[in-house]
Each structure stands twice: as structure tokens, then as C-alpha cells.
């Protein structure tokens, strides 16, 4: 926190977990890029409180980080979580009108929620966030395989809920603004076969719909340290914010 101007537990709604932790660069600037981080935990554990680890390398380069809180299961249900994350973005855009582009970053369940943000009809929210990029890390993009696993014990999803909240089933043709949004779909070498399959298929589906997509298979990492390394200055996924487009180009050559 010493390297950032920090505002913790900022409410974006009335719910107990509808709060944001905001880490602004120490050097005041009229405009700044904003990275919105959405935590994982299979939609039922972890919180924004463990999500500030990526702030130091970002704020040192003039990028603000916001960690989003949402109601996890069993209190929260899938429709509500998706809605909460979308509302948090609308709140941020209204609070910081001079944002120089919004970048999404989510891990595992958080990547699912970030992907659902990409499918948002913003006319319902009265604002249109300037989403310039998304870093989706080891995500879940089809919820139906979860229905008959222990993960759904807390989520209690029906097939209908799973279908309407599956990014794979919500891919829409990229509008002009969306076509300029660069999406990085990253997966770990040691992720499970299902995580790897879903990442590859979702990335291909976005690309087929006209989105700008880079698929990244990161060697030597698993489902957890692929995101924990965001605390490192030199880590490849840390190179986001203003540099995301050039970072994607360098990643695609790697």
C-alpha cells in the first residue's frame, strides 16, 4: 500500500460484499489506465481482500488497480455475481470519468466473470466503459460441465442458469468498439485438461466472431502460480495497462 494511494472497501452497491479496493498511482495524473481485477475461488471463496498483490508493479507504471468484491456462494448466486461485476464497472466509469481505458483481468472464476463483462449490453447501465483489453487467466467459459460436480453444491445452478451465464454461449459479433478490444486468453501448462480445452475453444469462438484475440499457453506454471506471479515486475502477464497492445504483439511472437 505504500506505493499507491489506497481506498479500501469503497461501496458500489448496498450488498455486504459490493465493495472495491482501489489502488491509484502515487504520482497524480489527470488521466490513467485502470485495470479491474476479479478474483477466482470457484465463485465461493477468496475475496477482494487477497487481490491487492498485483498493485505494486502496476501503480509504479501509472496504472490504477481496482479489486472487485462480489457475493460468493452460497449467499451469492451466478446471475447476481455477473450483475454485480457489471455494476462495479459502471460505478468506476462514473467515479473516474477521465480513465484512459479500462482493462479487465480475471483468474479462474474471475476470468469467467470478466468474460461475461465482455458480453454486456451497456445500454442497460447508462454508461459504456472504454474496455481496451482483457486478460483472462485459466478461466471457465462453459458452466454446464460443472452442474454435476461438487462445485455446484454451493452454487446450486440449474441448466438454464448455467447456459445464460456461460461466456461460450454469449459470444456476439464484435461491434466496432469491441473489435478494438484486445483479449488475451491465457492458460497454464499444468492446468487441468478441461481448463485448457475451454480456454482454447473460447479464444477461437471470440476470434471467429471478430474479436482481437491472442491465445497464450504459459509454460512451467500451474493453475495457481500463473496468477500469483502478477506480483512480479518482470512477469509476462504484468505487462498490461497502457502497454497491453504491444505486450500482446510480443507475446504472439514468443
- Beta strand segments in the chain, E: 4-11, 19-25, 32-38, 64-68, 99-107, 131-137, 182-188, 212-218
The catalytic residue positions are 108, 191, 223
The full set of domain ranges for the chain reads: 5-251
| pLDDT of res. 237 | 53
| pLDDT of res. 254 | 33
Mean pLDDT per segment of 10 residues, for the chain of length 254 residues? 80 96 85 93 95 84 93 97 98 92 94 97 92 94 97 98 98 78 93 96 96 91 82 52 43 34
Say which CATH architecture domain 5-251 belongs to.
3-Layer(aba) Sandwich (3.40)
* Helices then strands, each counted (H, E), the chain: 9, 8
Amino acid at each position: 500500500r505504500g506505493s499507491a494511494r489506497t481506498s479500501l472497501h469503497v461501496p458500489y452497491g448496498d450488498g455486504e460484499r459490493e465493495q472495491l479496493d482501489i489502488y491509484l498511482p502515487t504520482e497524480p495524473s489527470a488521466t490513467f489506465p485502470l485495470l479491474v481485477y476479479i478474483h477466482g475461488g470457484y465463485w465461493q471463496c477468496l475475496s477482494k481482500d487477497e487481490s491487492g498483490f498485483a498493485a505494486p508493479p502496476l501503480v509504479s507504471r501509472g496504472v490504477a488497480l481496482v479489486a472487485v468484491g462480489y457475493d460468493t456462494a452460497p449467499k451469492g448466486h451466478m446471475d447476481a455475481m455477473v450483475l454485480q461485476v457489471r455494476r462495479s464497472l459502471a460505478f468506476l466509469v462514473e467515479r473516474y470519468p477521465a480513465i484512459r481505458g479500462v482493462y479487465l483481468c480475471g483468474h479462474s472464476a474471475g476470468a469467467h466473470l470478466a468474460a461475461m463483462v465482455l458480453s454486456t449490453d451497456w445500454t442497460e447501465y447508462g454508461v459504456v466503459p472504454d474496455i481496451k483489453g482483457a486478460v483472462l487467466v485459466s478461466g471457465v467459459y462453459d458452466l454446464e460441465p460443472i452442474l454435476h460436480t461438487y462445485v455446484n453444491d454451493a452454487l446450486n445452478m440449474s441448466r438454464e442458469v448455467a447456459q445464460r451465464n456461460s461466456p461460450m454461449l454469449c459470444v456476439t459479433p464484435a461491434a466496432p468498439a469491441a473489435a478494438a478490444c484486445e483479449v488475451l486468453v491465457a492458460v497454464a501448462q499444468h492446468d487441468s485438461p478441461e481448463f485448457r480445452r475451454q480456454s482454447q475453444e473460447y479464444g477461437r469462438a471470440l476470434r471467429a466472431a471478430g474479436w482481437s484475440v491472442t491465445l497464450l499457453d504459459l509454460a512451467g506454471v500451474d493453475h495457481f502460480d500463473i496468477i500469483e506471479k502478477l506480483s512480479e515486475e518482470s512477469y509476462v502477464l504484468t505487462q498490461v495497462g497502457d502497454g497491453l497492445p504491444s505486450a500482446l504483439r510480443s507475446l504472439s511472437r514468443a
